[in-house]
Structure 1
């Protein structure tokens, strides 16, 4: 179904003001938990109300997290860039531009909502666009009462299905260590994660080994070993759900689940 059929809904100008369109989901098989059997992106040239896209506020984009309401997302990202409304709609789509490599990369960003209309899954086209949000360590905003948290993309640290740090990975961890060595803190918690590919027991071990490898590299870079706790949680805490049938596409989509979270607990 082409999104151009949304012409039967409110006019675009009115929809932009009221955000109360009646668009039909493009993605197939969206369940009550906000996951789709097949994620389908709309056509920018044919269907976008803002085909040129926008350069998003990266700090705002990094704040997007599961469980957010549409009002919260609208405050962070603005209105969707297709004829999608606020009421009765299970997905929102955006066109974002990023400056990279001396040029501009155009990316599509999709949010899928659960039956309570809370955002639960997030998708990029192409999948590599997700990496444009991350620097050496991506700060993840949290409530003031929680420990400051950073995220290290596992694929930037290790080869796929490996716990041996690559040279580039060691450089990333060294930069994180330099920041930690300038900060007053009580302890650092490393939490390793994997995607769902592979057996549960194997993934648990892999996540633990990867967290341990980051710990060893931090100690080597001067962070006190007694202040670092490393643990693995396998594939139990995914950030995205993917169902591509092509293995390469599935591996790329699941990349955000392969990560090491770093929580810095301040001195009390």
Structure 2
């Protein structure tokens, strides 16, 4: 299948709140007068935090002292020499950054010495080629679960307790109006003789069927059987009275 490539516009970095200016080199002081002529390496993410309205103390904590003989008070500009790696080995570009302060000594403007310096910190959004996602195959069909209910009984008993009646009422309500037949199979644990368990399992299935009829399910839709101690819900040693095996399972049948 051919891969479709669509041109879409994405930003290569978070859009800044503002975009700094580009100023001519004449606007910057002579690099030979810098207190640190070699400049300093800073992560672009750090410089990107500069925002108009910041105080000098906040900028100082972010970038450090300016690289020229510029004091903390009574000046309107701070100048920095910043180095940014180009991504090609140890090669880096030298950039000039100028911060401009208003009368309240709040940052009001930022200027770079070149476009590539600004782009190193605030990449310009542009068009890039992005492969369109391949169509995904449809998930395999899964049949919906078959509604069923398990009604549990006390040892050697075939009558329904209150919890069993509530379970059966909820099941009857969920299948009401479906018109489908119901399979009712009684089971026992492995305690007692086989013949006794076969008879007891059928009695349990019959008890569930009679309650379903009282709940409005037509008797013609019910198929009743007993499985004795065969097909236990939890396999146990012979003669063990396991409560999970003393049950009747009601299942809605397919057409």
Normalization by structure 1: what TM-score? 0.39
Higher relative strand content: 2
